[in-house]
Structure 1
Amino acid sequence: MSTPTIVFLDRATIPEQIVVPTLSLEHHWREFDFTSPDQTVERSQGADVIITNKVVLDAAVLSQLPQVKLIAVSATGFNNVDIDYCREHGIAVANVQGYATKSVPEHVIALIFALRRNLRGYHQDIMAGEWQRNNQFCFFTHPIGDIAGSTLGIIGGGVLGQSLALVAQALGMNVVFAEHKGKTECRSGYLPFEQVLAQADVLSLHCPLSEQTLNLIDQAELALMKPSALLINTGRGGLVEEAALVDALKQGVIAGAGVDVFTQEPADKSNPLIANADLPNLILTPHVAWGSDSAITRLAEILIENIDAFLQGKEQNRVV
């Protein structure tokens, strides 16, 4: 390959303070903070390597870019890339794995503590003058629970699920992993999906989004959970049917939810979660669970390592 051209279509998904390392081989580099769907083909012309986080590279786009040899996904999830097309046309795809094994679990634990201790509800009550009306040194308008001794159910036994389990166990939580939904036989160390939903005090989602996991948690699944249970989703927005979750929170089907991911991002007021963001038992964050500075620094390093490996004829973190 002659001097390769590399195009980063959405560089702004990596914060400005994070330095992206330089490739070890000579190359041409182009980057854009954001790329809209109608700009993707034009900006990718002549690129041997395309870097994308969330820019969609489907068959309609890739069919117009026959020169592309590698798609380097600057994230773990790669549902924005047409993997079947890449496999059929010899386009390599590599993603970034194992970079957020501290950041995501810590974000999950933060959400659990905030919800179990009803920090948002108490903050709202203070702002509304509830403390002054009670005329006491403290007041209890929301239940406050401990997480030590409670059961954490994890859906997704990959590196993030396993990393969360270690942190949760250190805090005194009992951890159980759910087998794939619909499976009658369980792998060693896993319990049936429905059983985990029924016994978990906290349910945390860490599985990829696919046709099989779309709306994995819907009205029927929420109804299996304890009324005192919490749902945490830092995986993918489509794993949870958002309107059903809002109804469950309003009707007391479950006690609370922490959500970092949405079906469409950025989410607007048409999203049921955004429209009900004032619920005291709901905490929303804008897809930042993965985003500690140390995690993103490591992501950038692995991203460049993946490209370097490909250009040297080696395979690293290859999806295809």
Structure 2
Amino acid sequence: MKIVFLDALTLGSVDFERFKEFGEVEIYQTTDKDETIDRIKNADIVVTNKVVIDKSVLDNAKRLKFIQIAATSMNNVDLEYAKAKGIIVKNVAEYSTNAVVQHTFAVVLGLINKICYFDKYVRKEYPNSKIFTHIQNWFEIKGKKWGIIGLGEIGKNVARAAECFGAKVVYYSTSGKNSSKEFKRVGLEELLKTSGIITIHAPLNKNTKNLLNYEKLSLMQEGSILVNVGRGGIINEDELVKILKEKNIFVGLDVFEKEPVNIDNPLLKSKKVLLTPHMAWSSIEAREKLMEGIYKNIEKFIKSGN
């Protein structure tokens, strides 16, 4: 078997040695679109995180039998065409739940408690202060309504943790199919109008693309917090920029419509936005679970053919 990792750099510092027991292993740190076909043309197994495997690529991969996606989302592979060609495609589910939940709170608390602002103040102005403190308005989570958009496994865990802070949790089901006895389900407009904290934990699909456009964003309360650790594209970024100029809301983004972001993206200059580079999933423990899932899927395929 020949195994090709197309974008190993996206996995960080992890152990690739054990995969050599399955056969020849080629590791590429990154792979551009025009390099993909050449790199996998003789591969039996391909591991990709974000490199796109479409019809044109599949037609030129004559030996390809198995595609392992190094993520939960599978939208970078043409699944229907792969199935038609008899190529098995697997992902790794729920490896990053704890990491994303933790990062959600890191961003929410960073925004509410103005951590970046206060750190900058202490370094530049606090030594010359006439008093021991510096007052800026921030609020407590206890008693606030926390709206969850997308009550999957991550959303449920965020909701439970939010309740530990004393928040009143409501949720909106983006599929319309999700129900819960733990939390109150509401419509999207009600959630946006009434929640002081809103966090997004949904996939990107036809139901969620541009879900939060100008009309919906304008429903948010003054002073409220919006955090997206789901997928870029759920929030319309152009319309978000417009709302940020009109309303006093604060936003945390770990995901973007285009990744990496363009250097001229106006969100990079906004003081109302806290940004992280699509890393909520990437704790040490999560990446270890991911690599273990990849290993087990490949092992199972080689031993049983599925």
Please say whether Structure 1 and Structure 2 have the same fold, judged by a TM-score greater than 0.5. yes
1:11/1:34 contact within 8 Å kept = yes
- Give the C-alpha shift of residue 192 in structure 1: 1.7
Shift of 1:230: 0.7
Consecutive unaligned residues in structure 1, runs of 5 or more: 316-320
Q: In the alignment, what sits opposite 1:318?
A: none
Q: Residue 175 of structure 1 aligns with which residue?
A: 169
**2:85 counterpart residue number:** 89
Provide the identity percentage.
33
Q: Does 1:144 align with 2:141?
A: no
After superposition, residues 129-168 of structure 1 pair within 5 angstroms as 129=125, 132=128, 135-140=130-135, 142-168=136-162
Structure 2 gap segments, 5+ residues each = none
Residue 216 of structure 1 corresponds to which residue in structure 2? 211
Matches within 5 A, 1:224-303: 224-252=219-247, 254-274=248-268, 276-277=269-270, 279=271, 281-303=272-294
Query: Which one-letter code corresponds to 2:209 in the other structure?
Result: L
User: Greater RCO between the two (CA within 8 Å, min separation 6)?
Assistant: 1
- Note if contact 2:144-2:196 (Cα within 8 Å) is conserved in structure 1: yes
The alignment partner of 1:93 has SS state of strand
Q: 2:42, 2:62 within 8 Å by CA — same for their partners in 1?
A: no
Q: CA deviation at 1:89?
A: 2.3
Tell which deviates more after alignment, 33-42 or 159-168.
159-168
> How far did residue 135 of structure 1 move?
2.9
Residue type of the alignment partner of 2:150: G
Q: CA deviation at 1:130?
A: 7.5
- Conserved? CA contact 1:23–1:308, under 8 Å: no
Provide the rounded CA distance (Å) in 1 between the counterparts of 2:233 and 2:19: 35
Partner of 1:102: 98
Q: What is the deviation of 1:126?
A: 4.5
User: Structure 1 residues 204 and 157 mapped into 2: Cα distance closer, same or farther (>3 Å)?
Assistant: same
Could you state the TM-score of these two structures normalised by the residue count of structure 2? Answer: 0.91
The match for 1:39 among 11, 14, 35 is 35
Alignment correspondent of 1:204 = 199
For residue 230 of structure 2, give the secondary structure of its aligned residue in structure 1.
coil
1:66 and 1:147, CA in 2 relative to 1: closer, same or farther beyond 3 A? same
Contact 1:186 1:192 in 2 (8 A): no
> 2:16, 2:246 → 1: CA distance?
47
Distance 1:28 1:146, change over 3 A: same
Across the aligned residues of Structure 1 and Structure 2, the Cα RMSD in angstroms comes to 2.2
How many pairs does the alignment contain? 303
CA displacement 1:154-209 (0-9 Å, x = unmatched): 1112221122222222222222220227x5x9745532222222222111111111
Q: TM-score with structure 1 length normalisation?
A: 0.87
Q: Measure the CA separation in 2 of the matches of 1:145 and 1:20.
A: 46
> Equivalents in 2 of 1:143, 1:23: separation in Å?
53
